[in-house]
C-alpha cells in the first residue's frame, strides 16, 4: 500500500505519472512529495511507487477554484483522521497570523479559515 494524502491506495508498482493520470489533479498545478522529498515534474514518469511510500499531492488553487476547497467540517474530519481528536482539539484552540496576503497568501488564508 502507498499512503497518498493520508489515505492508503493500491498504487504500488505504478509510476507517479500513471497514478496521477487516474486522478482529477491538473498536473500543471500540483507539487508532489514522496517520502519527504519533492519529486520534479520531469521525473513523474520514472518515479515508481512502492509499498510503504508516503506521498503528498498539493494542488495550487486560484480564485475560480475556491468553491472546490473542502468545508470546515471536511478539513476537521481529515485532520482528525490524520492526527487524532485530542491533537485536533489543540489545533482548534490555536491562533494563526497570516502576513502579506497577496497572491498565494490570500488563498492560504481562506483555507486556514475554513480549517477552523
Cβ proximity of 38 and 13 under 8 Å: no
89 falls in which pLDDT band (50, 70, 90)?
Answer: confident
Work out the angle at residue 9's Cα, subtended by the Cα atoms of residues 70 and 19, and round it to the nearest 5 degrees: 85
pLDDT at 7 over 60: yes
Among 3-17, 22-36, 48-62, 73-87, the range of highest mean pLDDT: 3-17
108 or 87: which leads in pLDDT:
87
Query: What's the rounded Cα separation, in Å, for the pair 53 and 102?
Result: 35
pLDDT at 99 over 60: yes
> DSSP state, 102?
S
Residue pLDDT, tens place only, 17-48: 999 999 988 888 888 999 988 899 999 999 99
pLDDT at 63 over 60: no
Confidence (pTM): 0.55
pLDDT at 93 over 70: yes
Amino acid at each position: 500500500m502507498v499512503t497518498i494524502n493520508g489515505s492508503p491506495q493500491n498504487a504500488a508498482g505504478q509510476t507517479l505519472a500513471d497514478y496521477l493520470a487516474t486522478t482529477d489533479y491538473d498536473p500543471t498545478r500540483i507539487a508532489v512529495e514522496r517520502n519527504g522529498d519533492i519529486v520534479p515534474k520531469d521525473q513523474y514518469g520514472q518515479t515508481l511507487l512502492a509499498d510503504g511510500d508516503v506521498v503528498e499531492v498539493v494542488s495550487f488553487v486560484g480564485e475560480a477554484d475556491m468553491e472546490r476547497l473542502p468545508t470546515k467540517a471536511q478539513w476537521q474530519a481529515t485532520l482528525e483522521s490524520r492526527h487524532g481528536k485530542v491533537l485536533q482539539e489543540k489545533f482548534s484552540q490555536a491562533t494563526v497570523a497570516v502576513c502579506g496576503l497577496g497572491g498565494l497568501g490570500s488563498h492560504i488564508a481562506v483555507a486556514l479559515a475554513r480549517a477552523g
